[in-house]
Amino acid sequence: MFSFSERLKKLPPYLFVELDRLKAEAKARGVDVIDLGVGDPDLPTPAHIVKAAEEAVKKPENHHYPSSVGMLAFREAAARWFEKRFGVKLNPETEVVTLIGSKEGIAHFPLAFVNPGDVVLVPTPAYPVYHIGTLFAGGETFYLPLRPENDFLPDLESIPKDVLSRAKIIWLNYPNNPTAAVATKDFFARVVSFAREHKLIVAHDAAYTELYFDDYRPPSILEVEGAREVAIEFHSLSKTYCMTGWRIGFAVGNETLIAGLAKVKNNVDSGAFQAVQEAGIAALSGDQSCVEEFRKIFRERRDVVVEGLKALGFEFDPPRATFYVWARVPEGYSSAAFAAKLLQEAGIVVTPGHGFGEPGEGFFRVALTVDKNQLKEALARIAALKF
């Protein structure tokens, strides 16, 4: 009787919805599932953040419509955090906008600047929302393959001139999901120079900048000279403070880009619940030792998985950031076949690489979002399989 719009018909199946379906089927069969699929931290939100939210919920002034661009107090907290972390001073009134989680901002951003027929340069394999937001805005996606021989960085020089002439936005994401690749300031400087030359907007998804290990500390693209002329950067409290369900984040950068996103938000949402924003203020302004503790836990988990998978002969580069391991599937398997084997024969959920885009074929992603004992159990189950 009813027909979906053409834009919905063009959408690929959302990867994690399908993973949820397969997990549910396995659990219904009585399988003891170890879920290393979706990147949702198992650790609880720190108590001081929860307490701030509890107090904020009681305030009558928080029971009304919030501002769609966010409380000035939250934007000021975000600006202070950003300056302390990256050494970049922002105007909280014009260079910061509050988001209902960074996914919301990423999906809405193309609506502000992309017209039908415009091209958006999207990395692949990648978080699916860059492409989905492009589709919703009526744009065309041109994929930039991220390949191991290029350290999972896009090859800017390979983009055809006729594509560049129609391109409006280039998306980046470092530290990267799903590959766990990292980028340097030198790379960001090349991108900024390229964007200025070709009149491109640089949209950088920086959700994983605080999940880093060893001697690496991820930079912000806004640290690069000239970036504020062309760039917007999306930050999330989800991974940093284990607040995935709270839906709170922010975008920073060029005033016009922030204003465009804010205008979209003015018309499509009523902003983040102010009690959640107050929790966000507590997170950004409070004691950051909880973040260091989370890094320590994920570093320990990374070491368990790296040691275990290496011992089993899997090929990959140990991650320097994020809570993912991106590894090659065994010879003779596709990504889908290998993921299916792990689920059916070992009760382990991993994400098949092709689900993030064609260049992800031949890889699988492990999320370090269960405790060390479960990771060791998963490795033992994998060791018992025949490949």
Q: What is the pLDDT of residue 299?
A: 98
| 220 and 80 within one domain | yes
Cα(105)–Cα(176) distance, rounded to whole angstroms? 18
Cα(294)–Cα(242) distance, rounded to whole angstroms? 9
User: For residue 335, how far is the Cα from the chain centroid?
Assistant: 21
CATH, residue 370: 3.90.1150.10
Cα(102)–Cα(206) distance, rounded to whole angstroms? 9
> Domain end: 266, 285, 304, which one?
285
Q: What is the pLDDT of residue 16?
A: 67
> Domain end: 223, 251, 285, which one?
285
Q: What is the pLDDT of residue 15?
A: 66
Residue 351 structural domain:
6-44+289-383
Count CB-CB contacts under 10 A for residue 65. 8
Q: What is the pLDDT of residue 27?
A: 78
| 333 and 189 within one domain | no
DSSP string over 212-254: B-TT--PPPGGGSTTGGGTEEEEEEHHHHTT-GGG--EEEEE-
Q: What is the pLDDT of residue 12?
A: 78
| 191 and 79 within one domain | yes
| 210 and 165 within one domain | yes
Name which of 235, 265, 302 is nearest 81 in CA terms: 235
Q: What is the pLDDT of residue 283?
A: 98
Q: What is the pLDDT of residue 54?
A: 98
Q: What is the pLDDT of residue 189?
A: 98
Q: What is the pLDDT of residue 43?
A: 97
Structure tokens at 88: 């970049």
| 378 and 320 within one domain | yes
DSSP string over 71-85: -HHHHHHHHHHHHHH
Query: pTM score, two decimals?
Result: 0.96
Q: What is the pLDDT of residue 22?
A: 76
HSE-up of residue 25 (Cα within 13 Å, Cβ side) = 10
Structural element, H or E, at residue 89? none
Q: What is the pLDDT of residue 207?
A: 98
Residue 54 phi, psi (nearest 5)? -60, -45
Residue 349 phi, psi (nearest 5)? -100, 120
Q: Are strands 363-367 and 351-352 parallel, antiparallel or unpaired?
A: antiparallel
Count CB-CB contacts under 10 A for residue 147. 13
**Regions in the chain scoring below 70 on pLDDT:** 14-16
Residue 370 corresponds to which amino acid? V
